[in-house]
Structure 1
Amino acid sequence: MSVHDEQLGELAGVDEAREHVRLGSLAPAAPGPVGLELEAHLVDLQHPRRRVPWDRITGLVDRLGPLPGRSRVTLEPGGQVELSGPPGDDVAAAVAGLRADSAVLRSELGAAGLGLAPLGTDPARPAARVSPGPRYAAMEEHFAAVGCPVAGAAMMTSTASVQVNLEAGAPGGQRDRVALAHALGPVLVAVSASSPMLAGQETGWTSTRQQVWGDLDQGRCGPLLGRRDPADEWADYALAAPVMLVRFTDAGGAEPVSGRVPFADWVTGRTLLGGRRPSAGDLDYHLTTLFPPVRLRGFLEIRYLDAGPAWPALAAVTATLLDDPDAADAAAAACLPVVGRWTAAAHHGLA
């Protein structure tokens, strides 16, 4: 059975698709709980300029027992390791759990001659995909087809971040909360910048990770503009964004889309992908291929921080500036002069 057969049939049209995205964008919930995800580059300590083979990585991960903080371990296409912690009651609890799990993971990897480098970009090795997964193979083909193969490969295989997940807040305050998450972005990009090198070369950017994201399709990776209700804006963003790939089997097969086909064109039948129109499941999967600096997933997914050794402080600052009302007000005022200056922040950092 194909994936879309399990997803209640085709969407009726643009209005149904837009409402589906809107309803999933921001769930009312009081600030407080914090979820954290930490990526790091996996390094063979004996051969640091070689990527670790996929079979070796997956074998180690498969043998890991449950971690003390209950984090989930996943792998990115270049072999980066990601720890995803469950929500903590506050940022201190989330940091403590992820720190404990990171220590266990480092110990297990160290015994196998491997280490973790939490940096925004891989400073030594050229971009190369080691995952054989069909999703990533299709992504690679899509990026090549739409004219950004270099940035696409670097994003998938040579970048790492610390991600902070925060509640969406009460309905009446969600617009300001989403706007503040974006306004903080350039400042926190500059504060977290830890990626001046990529593939053995100095790049001239303090956050090469952010520069890589900026070189990708901004219809997929650009920020929301904050001019309207964020749920409405996110729905329009999702429908205008080009479809990257179409799943076609429940075994995880994927077919890359070789041109720019907005999801709205697929749902109206203007362009058929995979010989059909999309289902709600296809729309949900499409949302996983959108990478704005702040993604709305019922909660706020803050995606713009470089990974770095100081990730606990970055997580604490980000959560506090958004969740503490006094800090949020002060931060909103302080960030006004540099709102939207994502490129300058990536290039110059705190300078």
Structure 2
Amino acid sequence: MARDQIDMTPLQSRDELVAWFEAGIKPPSEFRIGTEHEKTPFTLEGRQPVPYEGARGIGALLEGMQLLLGWEPIMENGNIIGLYDVTGGGAISLEPGGQFELSGAPLENVHQTQSELMAHLAQVREIATPLGIGFLGLGMTPSWSRSQIPVMPKGRYKIMTNYMPKVGQYGIDMMYRTCTVQTNLDFSSEADMVKKLRVSIALQPVATALFANSPFTEGKPNGFLSFRSEIWRDTDNARAGMLPWVFEDGMGFERWVDYALDVPMYFVKRGETYIDVAGSSFRAFFEGRNNSLPGERPTISDWANHLSTIFPEVRLKRYLEMRGADGVPWGRLPALPAFWVGLLYDNDSLDAAWDLVSHWTAAERQALRDDVPRSGFKARIKDRYLFEIAKECLKLSHAGLRRRNRVDHSGRDESRHLEPLERILEAGRTPAEEMLDKFNGDWGGSVEPVYQEYAF
């Protein structure tokens, strides 16, 4: 979510809300891959959070990146809060606690994703290293308390920060202490969207286990493998979760519109001002019944912004967003788009994946999702360990990528980007379990070594 969209056409009918999603339909020849990843900045000296202000702060980092890249600055009230690449479509943005996000351009294959990532890391290092800033590839800050973390100067975050404690115990942690990697993928029709959405929601726990990478809170093991995933279970359940209704007959764009209309809003943006409407529904706004904006109708921009504040395990926009994975070190990042592209962009693999999950019930899917943050591969569904299902998914993804046959300059197809996941399954344990072994062994009960071993 790089920047709030600006189209101030007032919405007249529900059909326009549906049409907004339908505009995402593309022929398979135009399918693209978007990858977003967040990383936590820390001071190389002292390993503390990095403030926004000052000569060695996040603002200075963004200004340096703007000079280096020539991208358009995204400004709010005189502060630089992001950058936008007008030519390629990528963007750099800030999460609430300064987590630095690359929203990648829409690319044709996973090789390009890897190239984009390597270029981005080289550019970031060039500016960040002289400022004394490093970046961590974990799903959650391993050593800082909530109160230590700075707040970025973005109006929408102030509103969310005030609202979060009213709707769950972990919303503030989600905002200020977690990092994710996401993949955004296209659909060719409403039916194709529904099939991909169902398969990817059901299998999101597989990605959560493969990328589980947040076992520490404030310097100690927190009892979970993906505490980031656990945090989402009690952030704001009105806008998160496994969406059981997606699997019911009649699912389509209209059904998502009806869901989104009733998800509580956070804000409405007018000019540079964010108006706090937290807790009121978009439906009331749509009917001219928003107390803060009496009689006013929402615009297309209001709708697009509202849709970006819904946080289920898979999110529908004009593409599908896979949201189940923890942030990880750079070597493992291209594995996430590779995994989902192999499963969802190859029809044979997509059919086989649907066969794998189609007989699971909503209760079973939910129980699997609830177990995975703590149990990882040992979570079960029906009579199977998630480990077996993950192996099957990786096989399907591998086959899908081979059939796609997008080769790099040395003739290798995209399946090579799955190698980090194949190593995880060979070892039989999640990345978090490997980290906990180090904590209990070589690291001598300290999380400090992560700042070297898991830094970008």
TM normalised by structure 1 equals: 0.88
Query: 1-side partners of 2:59 and 2:252: how far apart?
Result: 39
Which residue of 1 is the match for residue 33 of structure 2? 34
What is the aligned counterpart of 1:349 among 360, 376, 380?
A: 376
Counterpart of 1:320 in 2: which secondary structure? helix
Which residue of 2 is the match for residue 154 of structure 1? 173
Query: 2-side partners of 1:270 and 1:104: how far apart?
Result: 47
Amino acid at match of 1:99: M
Per-residue deviation at 1:34?
0.6
Give the alignment of 1:1-351 within 5 angstroms: 7-9=8-10, 11-12=11-12, 16=13, 18-26=14-22, 27-31=24-28, 32-48=31-47, 50-55=48-53, 56-64=57-65, 65-66=68-69, 71-127=90-146, 128-144=149-165, 146-148=166-168, 150-225=169-244, 226=246, 227=248, 228-247=250-269, 249-251=270-272, 253-257=273-277, 260-280=279-299, 281-309=301-329, 310-335=332-357, 339-340=365-366, 341-351=368-378
Q: Check 1:143–1:276 CA distance in 2 against 1; reply closer, same or farther (3 A cut).
A: farther
Query: 1-side partners of 2:234 and 2:328: how far apart?
Result: 22
Superposed CA deviations along residues 130-161 of structure 1, whole A, max 9, x for unmatched, are 212211111111213x243x412111111111
Counterpart of 1:88 in 2: which secondary structure? coil
Give me the identity figure in percent: 30
Indicate the structure whose relative CO is greater, using CA pairs within 8 Å and at least 6 residues apart: 1
- Runs (4+) off by over 6 Å: none
Query: 2-side partners of 1:212 and 1:300: how far apart?
Result: 22
Equivalenced residue count is 338
Q: Check 1:57–1:25 CA distance in 2 against 1; reply closer, same or farther (3 A cut).
A: same
Q: Check 1:271–1:86 CA distance in 2 against 1; reply closer, same or farther (3 A cut).
A: closer
Counterpart of 2:127 in 1: which secondary structure? helix
CA contact (8 A) 2:38 2:327 kept: yes
Query: 1-side partners of 2:228 and 2:50: how far apart?
Result: 21
Please say which structure displays the higher CA radius of gyration: 2
Higher mean C-alpha deviation, range 313-322 or range 155-164: 313-322
Amino acid at match of 2:206: V
Higher mean C-alpha deviation, range 103-112 or range 177-186: 103-112
Gaps of 5+ in 2: 72-84, 379-456
Superposed CA deviations along residues 214-250 of structure 1, whole A, max 9, x for unmatched, are 1122221223331232312210111110111233x41
Query: 1-side partners of 2:107 and 2:9: how far apart?
Result: 34
- State the Cα RMSD in Å: 2.6
Superposed CA deviations along residues 319-345 of structure 1, whole A, max 9, x for unmatched, are 211112222233333445563422112
Amino acid at match of 2:26: A
TM normalised by structure 2 equals: 0.68
CA contact (8 A) 2:343 2:349 kept: yes
Q: Check 1:222–1:19 CA distance in 2 against 1; reply closer, same or farther (3 A cut).
A: farther
Amino acid at match of 1:151: Y
Higher mean C-alpha deviation, range 162-171 or range 265-274: 265-274
Q: Check 1:118–1:175 CA distance in 2 against 1; reply closer, same or farther (3 A cut).
A: same
Per-residue deviation at 1:95?
2.3
